[in-house]
Copies of this chain bind each other. A is one copy, B any other.
Amino acid sequence: MPVYKAPVNDTLFVLNDVLGLERYNNLPGYADATPDMIEAIVGEAAKLSEEVLFPLNYSGDQEGCVRHDDGTVSTPKGFKEAYRAYREGGWLGLAVPEEFGGQGLPYVLHCAVGEYTSAANMSLMMYPGLTQGAIAAILVHGTDAQKQTYLPKLVEGSWSGTMNLTEPHCGTDLGLLRTKAVPQGDGSYKISGQKIFISAGEHDMTDNIVHLVLARIEGAPEGTKGISLFIVPKFLVKEDGSLGDRNPVSCGAIEHKMGIHGNATCVMNYDEATGFLIGAENKGLNAMFVMMNEARLGVGLQGLSIAEIAYQNAANYARERIQGRSLSGPKAPDKKADPIIVHPDIRRSLMTIRAFNEAGRAFLLWTALKSDIAHRSPDEKDRQAADDILGLATPILKGVLTDKGFEHAVMAQQVFGGHGYIEEHGMSQYVRDARITMIYEGANGIQALDLVGRKLALNGGRAVMALFKEIGDFCEENRNDEQMAFYTKHLKKGLNDVQAATMWFMQNAMAKPDNAGAGSTDYMHLFGLVVLGYMWAKMAKAAQAGLAAGDSAREDYLKNKLVTARFYMERIMPETALRKARIETGADTMMELAAEAF
């Protein structure tokens, strides 16, 4: 049977030892987040994840969601009750301002908690996950009245939210979208059209569903410049806040998917449904991107979550499964065979996943901290600098943590041999669930293009230069620290590669943009390798500081950090040279064939 144990110690190591969260108590909400408070919160989240959410993960996958003839949708057995426990714990509003019913705590804590809950039950957590996106969009772009009408209900979780972008003929290229909005003269619009792939589009967990829908106002320009964002509630909301008429928006079908069976992925039909403009007319994409950017961090988080639960189960299996003998002689001579964890090739898999997960967790929380600074710091320069890094890091975090999350779920499944292919062991579900993270909220090829085509050059390359400088300075500062030399040597090599690749784009992609597209995925991974390497160097430094301070209770724990850091530097980091070499071959061979020749 699958198991899950929230990695509380690792979270606390990153928050306290690596990021030094207490140093940020000038930020709103951070003063309340004392080390004790943080430990209590992640401890509670761990309990909820392990005891309430996780036990429904496998059954939710097996049972799936059911759409009934009247268009209602039932979620798997137990989901409603588990969702209630989640929302009654106040988890939805953890980082939402107190004036709308939230707790105003750091977003970094929200992400720490989110890793556990998504690992325990990704399908279930998508329902409140979509609500988070709706909250973010309404917070930034809603009118005061919209905020008052929708936010408290969304934050308490009695209503949920959705994002409606995709149509059958358009996903990435939203300029093609056809859903139309006809103004009614009273400030409202009639929305008509079909949306597909709508996660949590219809379900039985909340009293109301607040759809955020991209549509084109009649007469608006073609392309992306004529798209507006609308709030389309399932039940219209009366003046007094109570629920009124059922809006003609309905679930036409639920998709038959490879995974995340516990989440209802809906075809949504809008048949002159009443909607309300949010944000400026024809500026819908801007408003949607507020949701999108937060959602992308949330998807990167899911990649980490699934890789972590897959890792834990593989490690358990490797300790328990008795098969064959160690190459260096029996390790369990009293038994008929050794546990397979004695085999180097099994350890290669476990160490690889572990090295990515620990660095991925640090990268996620480091990025979330940037988000807090960007949104909460009183210092404008700090805000801008953090926002620069946040924008740069988002596509890397989404693309790399999900590509690797899936790859490592597969690697963990492999540890089980044939048993990994049988659904009952749960590994297949992790692989099937993880697969969607590479696709939704912008397929990873789009993340790579966002990075290379937009984020690199933004503001004259300010963000990328700042990050290269930060990493370079770290190497420089630790140059004479003997204990750090091994890590900074490898990190510096990776940094050189990503800088060279960046330079190559500057010299070769201006005149020939295909050269940027051809190298974009390699560049995203190259950058990811370096950022994760930077996280490992920071973690190695923190571990050494802990050891030097005589932290005997964590001595083994901290030493294991150093071993894993070494593993990452030795075996993973050298991939930067390959990625750079590929980028430098450019687009020629891949563009040469005629389309019909494929």
Shortest CB distance A529–B (Å): 11
State whether the Cβ of A289 lies closer than 8 Å to any Cβ in chain B.
Answer: no
User: Who on chain B is nearest to A256 by CB?
Assistant: B423
Shortest CB distance A596–B (Å): 8
Q: Which residues of B sit under 8 angstroms from A591, Cβ to Cβ?
A: 344, 347
Known: A318-B598, A514-B344, A518-B348. A582 touches B574 (CB 8 A): yes
User: Who on chain B is nearest to A429 by CB?
Assistant: B258
Q: Which residues of B sit under 8 angstroms from A337, Cβ to Cβ?
A: 173, 175-176
Near B by CB (< 8 A), chain A positions 571-598 give 571, 574-575, 577-578, 581-582, 585, 587, 589-598
A351 to B593, CA, bound (A): 9
State whether the Cβ of A414 lies closer than 8 Å to any Cβ in chain B.
Answer: yes
Q: Which residues of B sit under 8 angstroms from A128, Cβ to Cβ?
A: none
Copies of this chain assembled into the complex:
2
Q: Which residues of B sit under 8 angstroms from A171, Cβ to Cβ?
A: 323, 417-418
Known: A173-B337, A574-B581. A345 touches B521 (CB 8 A): yes
User: Who on chain B is nearest to A420 by CB?
Assistant: B439
Shortest CB distance A455–B (Å): 16
Shortest CB distance A478–B (Å): 20
A contact residues, range: 35 or more
- Binary interface encoding of chain A residues 330-342 relative to chain B, with 1 for a CB under 8 A from any of its CBs, else 0: 0000001101011
- In the complex, the answer to whether B571 meets A346 with C-beta atoms within 8 Å is no
State whether the Cβ of A80 lies closer than 8 Å to any Cβ in chain B.
Answer: no
- In the complex, the answer to whether A438 meets B417 with C-beta atoms within 8 Å is no
- In the complex, the answer to whether B577 meets A592 with C-beta atoms within 8 Å is no
- In the complex, the answer to whether A439 meets B423 with C-beta atoms within 8 Å is no
A319 to B337, CA, bound (A): 53
Q: Which residues of B sit under 8 angstroms from A417, Cβ to Cβ?
A: 171-172, 439, 443
**A interface: dominant SS:** helix
State whether the Cβ of A84 lies closer than 8 Å to any Cβ in chain B.
Answer: no
Shortest CB distance A163–B (Å): 13
State whether the Cβ of A422 lies closer than 8 Å to any Cβ in chain B.
Answer: yes
Q: Which residues of B sit under 8 angstroms from A211, Cβ to Cβ?
A: none
State whether the Cβ of A525 lies closer than 8 Å to any Cβ in chain B.
Answer: no
Near B by CB (< 8 A), chain A positions 421-455 give 421-424, 428, 431-432, 435-436, 438-440, 443-445, 448-449, 453
A589: contacting residue among B351, B512, B577, CB under 8 A: B351
State whether the Cβ of A468 lies closer than 8 Å to any Cβ in chain B.
Answer: no
A322 to B563, CA, bound (A): 49
A422: contacting residue among B257, B431, B445, B564, CB under 8 A: B257
A484 to B582, CA, bound (A): 21
State whether the Cβ of A513 lies closer than 8 Å to any Cβ in chain B.
Answer: yes
A566 to B588, CA, bound (A): 10
A479 to B333, CA, bound (A): 55
A171 to B340, CA, bound (A): 12
A582 to B345, CA, bound (A): 13
A319 to B100, CA, bound (A): 48
- In the complex, the answer to whether B598 meets A341 with C-beta atoms within 8 Å is yes
A566: contacting residue among B438, B448, B512, B589, CB under 8 A: B589
Known: A173-B337, A345-B449. A424 touches B589 (CB 8 A): no
Interface centre among A347, A410, A422, A567 (most CB of B within 10 A): A347
Q: Which residues of B sit under 8 angstroms from A350, Cβ to Cβ?
A: 598
- In the complex, the answer to whether B517 meets A343 with C-beta atoms within 8 Å is yes
User: Who on chain B is nearest to A346 by CB?
Assistant: B445
Shortest CB distance A215–B (Å): 17
Q: Which residues of B sit under 8 angstroms from A574, Cβ to Cβ?
A: 578, 581-582
State whether the Cβ of A354 lies closer than 8 Å to any Cβ in chain B.
Answer: yes
Q: Which residues of B sit under 8 angstroms from A257, Cβ to Cβ?
A: 421-423, 428
User: Who on chain B is nearest to A312 by CB?
Assistant: B598
Q: Which residues of B sit under 8 angstroms from A587, Cβ to Cβ?
A: 344
Q: Which residues of B sit under 8 angstroms from A418, Cβ to Cβ?
A: 166, 171, 196-197, 439-440, 443
- Binary interface encoding of chain A residues 3-26 relative to chain B, with 1 for a CB under 8 A from any of its CBs, else 0: 000000000000000000000000
- In the complex, the answer to whether B327 meets A590 with C-beta atoms within 8 Å is no
A436 to B512, CA, bound (A): 42
- In the complex, the answer to whether B590 meets A351 with C-beta atoms within 8 Å is yes
- Binary interface encoding of chain A residues 545-561 relative to chain B, with 1 for a CB under 8 A from any of its CBs, else 0: 00000000000100010
A570 to B319, CA, bound (A): 41
A323: contacting residue among B176, B348, B428, B449, CB under 8 A: B176
State whether the Cβ of A255 lies closer than 8 Å to any Cβ in chain B.
Answer: yes
Known: A422-B255, A514-B344. A570 touches B598 (CB 8 A): no
- In the complex, the answer to whether A172 meets B323 with C-beta atoms within 8 Å is yes
Known: A319-B598, A517-B327. A560 touches B593 (CB 8 A): yes
A197 to B418, CA, bound (A): 8
State whether the Cβ of A394 lies closer than 8 Å to any Cβ in chain B.
Answer: no
- In the complex, the answer to whether B518 meets A344 with C-beta atoms within 8 Å is yes
15 A-B contacts (beta carbon < 8 Å): A169-B322, A173-B324, A176-B337, A258-B428, A318-B595, A318-B598, A341-B598, A347-B591, A348-B521, A348-B590, A351-B590, A563-B589, A563-B592, A574-B578, A575-B578
10 new A-B contacts, CB < 8 A, other than A169-B322, A318-B598, A417-B443, are: A172-B323, A175-B337, A176-B322, A196-B418, A258-B422, A327-B516, A341-B595, A414-B443, A575-B578, A577-B578
What 4 A-B pairs have minimum CB-CB distances, sorted nearest first?
A344-B517, A327-B513, A315-B598, A258-B428
